[in-house]
């Protein structure tokens, strides 16, 4: 593209609401244009990158025989009502009525729609397994959209769905998709980790799920990671062991101590001059199932945090919500002074399994401004229940006890998930197996945030001067900056541009009448893999052009006859 | 694609709501799947055709330097409020509020959004002219969506917009786009006519607009056409001359005749035994401008029809609505007996210019059950106003009087339009020209209904057995139907499939275990350009395969060594 003919504009100022580098750089380099809160138009340069991401995804999914379709962006409420998700999806789903007062929504995901296609088309086990995918517009009505394309309201997503006759086939299909994802993110040039994720309390016990996380400081997800052990899991899901801890094994009688206004572990332990893990943290929750609602007291070592998902999964409840101060008061619990002894309400108590039940701990005394020392779980609790409740953290050990894990921040760009029969059951899908028996097929679903991938790639690949694109998804491959005025050199530059184009190279030809400083600044900001400079003086003297690697800054001088072959080699 | 591995299903039954061939065939051949009223998912075969249409459009627009972007499907109400269209767009635009009670809509068109991009990016005349296009999802909340993709609610559209410093540049850009459209629809293999359309009463007098119409019986648009004169116009816009008409030139006094219950031209003229064009048709309208509302009486020859757009354009009013019977009564006008003489109300009278003012006519007498004979416009009307009001029709002559026009029905698949400064003015866009003067740029807009093109192509290209795809947009090029069982023949078929694929041919390999009848039926229904049949018996006997042209039915026998080259030749 000749810049004098095409449409591209960079910006110097950083918009106030752009907090992270990728958001700032995408706006400054003219890849996107803000249309409204969480709404971004894709400008030509940005769209080219997005298309490259789409094509890599498409190629890898076509390879494994997944069928590309397109489902409507607006979907009828009826479909969602069949699975009960019309009510359960919550505020992120944008719902509205059409002229005939029929329920519609802008689909944030498409399990119901694809299951409807499947049940109306596939009748025999011979047609299974079968997979579908689409690359399409999605909308989630985030209250606080932020980070540009990273968490926008409208975004492009690839969502895929597979259908299987049995778990073995689902497992095989899941692995195939997992491998395709690995190929996709590798080709995209991203540093990523597939991490074990939590399938949720409602999923089957053997349901698998992984997130594909791009490692980046601004990531909203916490990953527990050990390279040596090849272990990676979302912190919510991670299974680790607390490092060896020295407990207080000197038992003594349970004794109240006055701790005025000391409501946190930090305050109490400082006041009593004890390490945090000599105390127990007490957290009150309300667990709800279809039939009952129950108060829960979760106890952890003072320096540990609760993993709510683990607690919910232990309790097998539908909802788990932290109790409010009012709810605590109603149960005669003093916030900041709660403990497992002397409770006046019906409450279920669960101890984290990292707690050494032979130890002595500081606990809340269930009286205002009072704690107790000398609590010994084994001695002081009648029916002791222990479960894995703590949130994994850096410094923990892998389950085999051999490796120490670290924490990394990740941007979730992909997700693979075994759905099981949730949707096929609710939507009454039946397939005859080879014995003529009606079987409810199993499903998997698999997402990639296409536009988020572009933002994540920039988040991971930039420097002080701008973007440093991975080669596979750069909008163009070469920035051809000319600093020539004499007509003979303009002709050489034009010829070289034509030669590069004819060779199939993707070239931005900066033929604008602006100084070299501006051209180089724009070139660095846009961050195409290679910059080629034709300077009248240098070229006139040595007949050479400069090829500059955006990432390393390494400059190679080449004769014009070698330019195309040099670039082709570099871009391999 | 091997049918035993891919996803494709044909249907025998025709859904009740599918009224026209293209809709029926798209459902029966498994191209689309209905998700809700006016909402269709694109299945793999359908999506492939849509993508081919998109790519042809993309290639031709890229050729003329138009810049591809993507604007958000959901757009903020604020933008529409700047031009006043938030209120004017009417019910087709789906509006809703987000969580923060901000106005949003699913954009049915994007003039405001693209003008917003332009004004925030383009500052100098040097950057103009510039054009943008997108291929994206649109939604119009039609009350009666019908004909499948032809008039769906959600659809894919290509919309393009250009910006210019002056009318000369707009005209040049318009012509360039017109030519690109001609290339596009030619490549799509469609029989189409670019027709002059009406720019609307609000447009500048010199504003150009054309519709690209695909000729088809089910088309909703009426086209006035003369191949010899190379003239084509939407009936609403068409300028023609009424064929030579013999008028009644025997003047006589205005005389009332009793015509009980004769309220139509047909009834009155039969009753009085006169040809229809010896009478005048009286039509009452209410014309509204910002400042006033006025009664209008339009008069036409008895066998002519009114072109409301011509009347509105003559009156230069904002709205023109036929008067209701109540409104007529209030003006003391008897429906069925209205005429230009003896009116008691303040009413503006306009005569169509085909009326020979020297003639004698039957008119309503403005009394119940009464008409008058002997009305002579020149004699009986004080201030006679004549204008072109009649709707063109088959049998009329072109303006030069040399050619007779015919009527054709068309499906509008494209539209090019000179918008002028409507949006740039409302949205306060200013560009500095070479003299430093602030200029309001002019715009053009250009649409193609991508998914409608696919439906229109099928409407124009099908027979009793199914679709007959134009080569350029068929989902695949070749249907390879094998009727072989012996393992040696299966191997030959597999090898041939591989050979065709390696040669870059797009092949559906029907390797299903079903009879030849089913395969041929499915093949005809899907309508790929060529069917290749490998029959064990024939192939065994002569070593030849059959290549059948879907359109002509012509069968060519070829040796397997010649198959690929034969197909490549045919597909050229």
Q: How distant is the Cα of B68 from the closest Cα of chain A, in angstroms?
A: 6
Q: How distant is the Cα of B37 from the closest Cα of chain A, in angstroms?
A: 8
Residue of B nearest to A78 (CA): B36
Whether residues A324 and A267 share a domain: the answer is yes
| pLDDT at residue B100 in the model | 86
Q: Which of B141, B133, B127 is nearest to B71 (CA)?
A: B133
For B281, the token pair is 């048709």
CATH label of the domain that carries residue B303:
3.90.960.10
| pLDDT at residue A545 in the model | 94
Q: Is residue B489 part of a domain?
A: yes
For A378, the 3-state DSSP assignment is: helix
Q: How distant is the Cα of B149 from the closest Cα of chain A, in angstroms?
A: 12
Return phi, psi of residue B232, to 5°.
Answer: -150, 130
Q: Is residue B105 part of a domain?
A: yes
Side-chain half-sphere of B558: how many Cα atoms within 13 Å?
20
pLDDT at A378 over 90: yes
Instruction: Kindly determine whether residue A154 and residue B72, on different chains, have CB atoms separated by under 8 Å.
Output: yes
Q: Residue B174 in contact with residue B444, Cβ under 8 Å?
A: yes
For residue A485, give every residue at least 6 positions away whose Cβ sits within 8 Å of its Cβ, in sequence order, or none: A536
Q: Which of A28, A52, A67 to mutate to test the interface with B (most CBs of B within 10 A)?
A: A67
Rg of chain A over all Cα atoms, to the nearest angstrom: 29
Q: How distant is the Cα of A351 from the closest Cα of chain B, in angstroms?
A: 40
Domain limits for position B517: 476-571
For B483, the token pair is 């009727």
The pTM (predicted TM-score) of the whole model is 0.88
Instruction: Kindly determine whether residue B36 and residue A137, on different chains, have CB atoms separated by under 8 Å.
Output: no
For B417, the 3-state DSSP assignment is: strand
Whether residues A143 and A68 share a domain: the answer is yes
CA–CA separation, A118 vs A128, rounded Å? 11
Express each pLDDT in B131-159 by its tens digit. Answer: 999 999 999 988 888 889 998 999 999 99
Do the bridges between strand B466-467 and strand B462-463 make them parallel or antiparallel, or are there none, so unpaired?
Answer: antiparallel
Return phi, psi of residue A502, to 5°.
Answer: -65, -30
Q: Which helix (H) or strand (E) holds B328?
A: helix B325-330
* Average pLDDT of span A450-457: 96
Measured between beta carbons, the chain B residues lying within 8 angstroms of A116 are 33, 35
| pLDDT at residue A201 in the model | 62
CA–CA separation, B14 vs B18, rounded Å? 7
Burial (CB count within 10 angstroms: exposed 0-12, middle 13-18, buried 19+), residue A517:
exposed
CA quadruple B162, B166, B171, B176: dihedral, nearest 10: -40
Please name the member of B41, B76, B94 whose beta carbon is closest to the beta carbon of A113.
B41
pLDDT at A88 over 90: no
CATH label of the domain that carries residue B546:
3.40.50.800
Q: How distant is the Cα of A40 from the closest Cα of chain B, in angstroms?
A: 6
Q: Which of A40, A58, A73 to mutate to test the interface with B (most CBs of B within 10 A)?
A: A73
CA–CA separation, A213 vs A503, rounded Å? 36
* String of DSSP letters for A181-248: HHHHHHHTT--EEEEE----TTS-TT--EEEEEEE-TT-SEEEEEETTTTEEEETTT---BPPP----
Quick check: ipTM above 0.85? yes
Whether residues B183 and B284 share a domain: the answer is no
Of A458, A486, A501, which one is at a domain's C-terminal end? A458
| pLDDT at residue A386 in the model | 96
Whether residues B524 and B432 share a domain: the answer is no
Cross-strand partners of B157:
B136, B449
Of B352, B387, B422, which one is at a domain's C-terminal end? B387
Instruction: Kindly determine whether residue A41 and residue B106, on different chains, have CB atoms separated by under 8 Å.
Output: no
**Distances in Å between the alpha carbon of A199 and those of A176, A419, B197, B220?**
19, 9, 58, 52
Measured between beta carbons, the chain A residues lying within 8 angstroms of B141 are 98-99
Whether residues A517 and A453 share a domain: the answer is no
Measured between beta carbons, the chain B residues lying within 8 angstroms of A136 are 137
Q: How distant is the Cα of A113 from the closest Cα of chain B, in angstroms?
A: 7
Whether residues A337 and A413 share a domain: the answer is no
Whether residues A191 and A299 share a domain: the answer is no
Q: How distant is the Cα of A388 from the closest Cα of chain B, in angstroms?
A: 38
Instruction: Kindly determine whether residue A153 and residue B74, on different chains, have CB atoms separated by under 8 Å.
Output: yes
Helical H segments across B124-207, by residue range: 167-187
CATH label of the domain that carries residue B130:
3.30.930.10
Instruction: Kindly determine whether residue B69 and residue A42, on different chains, have CB atoms separated by under 8 Å.
Output: yes
Whether residues B290 and B375 share a domain: the answer is yes
Residue of B nearest to A28 (CA): B121
Instruction: Kindly determine whether residue B72 and residue A98, on different chains, have CB atoms separated by under 8 Å.
Output: no
Q: Which helix (H) or strand (E) holds A426?
A: helix A422-426
Place of tokens 């709707």: B391
Q: Is residue A483 part of a domain?
A: yes
Number of residue pairs across A and B with CB atoms under 8 Å? 151
| pLDDT at residue B123 in the model | 82
Place of tokens 């397109």: A70
Low-confidence ranges of chain B (pLDDT < 70): 201-202
Instruction: Kindly determine whether residue B117 and residue A71, on different chains, have CB atoms separated by under 8 Å.
Output: no
Q: Is residue B308 part of a domain?
A: yes
Measured between beta carbons, the chain B residues lying within 8 angstroms of A9 are 121-122
Cβ-defined contacts of A493-499 (< 8 Å, 24+) = A493/A534, A496/A534, A496/A545, A496/A560, A496/A563, A497/A2, A499/A563, A499/A564
| pLDDT at residue B138 in the model | 93
Please name the member of A35, A75, A127 whose beta carbon is closest to the beta carbon of B36.
A75
Whether residues B83 and B125 share a domain: the answer is yes
Q: Is residue B43 part of a domain?
A: no
Q: Is residue A517 part of a domain?
A: yes
Q: Residue B332 in contact with residue B344, Cβ under 8 Å?
A: yes
For A52, the token pair is 């490259």
Of A337, A354, A387, which one is at a domain's C-terminal end? A387
CA–CA separation, B487 vs A523, rounded Å? 60
| pLDDT at residue B217 in the model | 87
Mean pLDDT of chain A: 93
* String of DSSP letters for B300-319: EETT--B-HHHHHHHHT-SE
Q: Residue A350 in contact with residue A313, Cβ under 8 Å?
A: no
| pLDDT at residue A519 in the model | 96
Q: How distant is the Cα of A476 from the closest Cα of chain B, in angstroms?
A: 14
Measured between beta carbons, the chain B residues lying within 8 angstroms of A139 are 73-74
For A331, the token pair is 């149960």
Whether residues A491 and A454 share a domain: the answer is no
Cross-strand partners of B467:
B462
Q: Is residue A127 part of a domain?
A: yes
| pLDDT at residue A99 in the model | 84
| pLDDT at residue A202 in the model | 63
Measured between beta carbons, the chain B residues lying within 8 angstroms of A43 are 69, 117
* Domain total of chain B: 3
Q: Is residue B6 part of a domain?
A: no
Whether residues B446 and B498 share a domain: the answer is no
Q: Which of B10, B72, B153 to mutate to test the interface with A (most CBs of A within 10 A)?
A: B72
Instruction: Kindly determine whether residue A43 and residue B120, on different chains, have CB atoms separated by under 8 Å.
Output: no
Measured between beta carbons, the chain A residues lying within 8 angstroms of B33 are 116-117, 120-121
Whether residues B441 and B480 share a domain: the answer is no
pLDDT at A203 over 80: no
Please name the member of B33, B50, B76 whose beta carbon is closest to the beta carbon of A39.
B76
Place of tokens 């060519």: B556
- Decide which of A147 and A469 is more confident: A469
* Average pLDDT of span A309-333: 91
Express each pLDDT in B56-80 by its tens digit. Answer: 999 999 999 999 999 999 999 999 9
For B8, the token pair is 């494709």
Q: How many residues does chain B have?
A: 572
Helical H segments across A3-158, by residue range: 21-28, 44-63, 77-83, 85-88, 111-121
Residue of B nearest to A94 (CA): B98
| pLDDT at residue B95 in the model | 87
């Amino acid at each position: 593209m000749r810049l004098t003919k095409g449409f591209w504009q960079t910006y110097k100022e950083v918009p106030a609401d752009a907090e992270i580098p990728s958001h700032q750089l995408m706006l400054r380099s003219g890849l996107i244009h803000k249309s409204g809160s969480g709404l971004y138009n894709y400008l030509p340069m940005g769209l080219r990158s997005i298309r490259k991401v789409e094509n890599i995804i498409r190629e890898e999914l076509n390879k494994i025989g997944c069928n590309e379709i397109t489902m409507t962006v607006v979907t009828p409420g009826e479909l969602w009502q069949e699975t009960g998700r019309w009510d359960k999806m919550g505020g992120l789903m944008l719902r509205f009525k059409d002229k005939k007062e029929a329920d519609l929504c802008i689909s944030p995901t498409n399990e119901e729609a694809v299951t409807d296609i499947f049940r109306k088309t596939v009748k025999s086990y011979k047609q299974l397994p079968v997979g579908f995918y689409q690359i399409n517009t999605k909308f989630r009505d985030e209250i606080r959209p932020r980070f540009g394309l990273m968490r926008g309201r409208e975004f492009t997503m690839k969502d895929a769905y597979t259908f299987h006759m049995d778990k073995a086939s689902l497992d095989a299909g899941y692995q195939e998709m997992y491998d395709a994802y690995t190929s996709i993110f590798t080709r995209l040039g991203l540093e990523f980790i597939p991490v074990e994720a939590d399938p949720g309390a409602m999923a089957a016990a053997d349901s698998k799920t992984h997130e594909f996380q791009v490692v980046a400081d601004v990531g909203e997800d916490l990953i527990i990671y050990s390279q040596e052990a090849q272990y990676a899991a979302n912190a919510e899901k991670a299974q680790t062991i607390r490092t060896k801890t020295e407990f207080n094994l000197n038992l003594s009688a349970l004794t109240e101590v006055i701790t005025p206004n000391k409501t946190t572990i930090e305050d109490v332990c400082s006041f009593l001059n004890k390490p945090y893990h000599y105390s127990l943290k007490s957290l009150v929750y309300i667990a709800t199932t279809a039939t009952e609602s129950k108060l829960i007291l979760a106890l952890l070592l003072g320096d540990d945090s609760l993993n709510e998902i683990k607690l919910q999964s232990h309790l097998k409840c539908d909802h788990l919500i932290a109790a409010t101060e009012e709810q605590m008061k109603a149960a005669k619990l003093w916030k900041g002074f709660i403990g497992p002894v002397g409770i006046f309400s019906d409450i279920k108590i669960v101890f984290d399994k990292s707690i050494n039940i032979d130890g002595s701990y500081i606990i809340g005394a269930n009286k205002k401004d009072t704690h107790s020392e000398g609590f010994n779980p084994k001695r002081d609790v009648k029916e002791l229940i222990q479960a894995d409740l703590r949130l994994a953290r850096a410094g923990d050990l892998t389950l085999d006890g051999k490796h120490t894990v670290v924490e990394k921040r990740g941007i979730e760009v992909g997700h693979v998930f075994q759905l099981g029969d949730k949707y096929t059951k609710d939507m009454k899908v039946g397939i005859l197996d080879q014995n003529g028996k009606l079987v409810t097929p199993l499903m998997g679903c698999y997402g990639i945030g296409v536009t988020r991938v572009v933002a994540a790639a920039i988040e991971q690949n930039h420097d002080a001067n701008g973007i440093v694109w991975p080669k596979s998804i750069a909008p163009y491959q070469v920035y051809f900056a000319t600093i020539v005025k004499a007509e003979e050199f303009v002709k050489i530059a034009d010829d070289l541009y034509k030669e590069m184009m004819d060779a199939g190279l993707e070239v931005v030809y900066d033929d604008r009448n602006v100084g070299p400083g501006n051209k180089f600044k724009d070139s660095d900001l846009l961050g195409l893999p290679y910059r080629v400079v034709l300077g009248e003086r240098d070229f006139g003297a040595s007949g050479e052009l400069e090829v500059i690697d955006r990432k390393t800054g390494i400059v190679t001088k080449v004769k014009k006859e070698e330019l195309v072959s040099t670039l082709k080699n570099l871009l391999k």
